[in-house]
Amino acid sequence: MKHHIILIEGMAAALMESVAYMQSVRAELISTVAIQYYTLLSLEAQETIYEQTENQICSLTGKPSGSIIPRGSLGSWKAPESIREGSQLRRAGKQS
């Protein structure tokens, strides 16, 4: 009987450690998603500023869009897909 009690206590301790580990992993995942979402918002803001700046320069100079600021690092970034992924992450976070 004493052997069973020790075994049960050991199992309970292992289960508690497992729960603590799962909670720490969950917290880490939430933190990672939050950081990625913040990054997406920052990139969206940068893309908006980029587009507004380009539009203002083009309207002042009469040049076509894309001719003032060369399409490079920001121009090659796929904003719509990235923002949609961020929206999906946000919806998934609200559901859990």
- The crossing angle, in degrees rounded to 10, of helices 79-95 and 2-61 is 150
How remote is the C-alpha of 60 from its chain's centroid?
Answer: 36
Indicate the pTM of the whole model.
0.47
Confidence band for 49, pLDDT divided at 50, 70 and 90: confident
Q: How far apart are CA 12 and CA 14, in angstroms?
A: 5
Q: Which domain holds residue 29?
A: 2-95
- Residues in the chain, total: 96
pLDDT digits (tens, 9 = 90+) for 32-42: 999 999 998 88
Start-to-end CA distance of the chain, whole Å, equals: 42
The one-letter code for the residue type at 65 is: S
Query: Does residue 50 register a pLDDT over 60?
Result: yes
Q: How many domains does the chain have?
A: 1
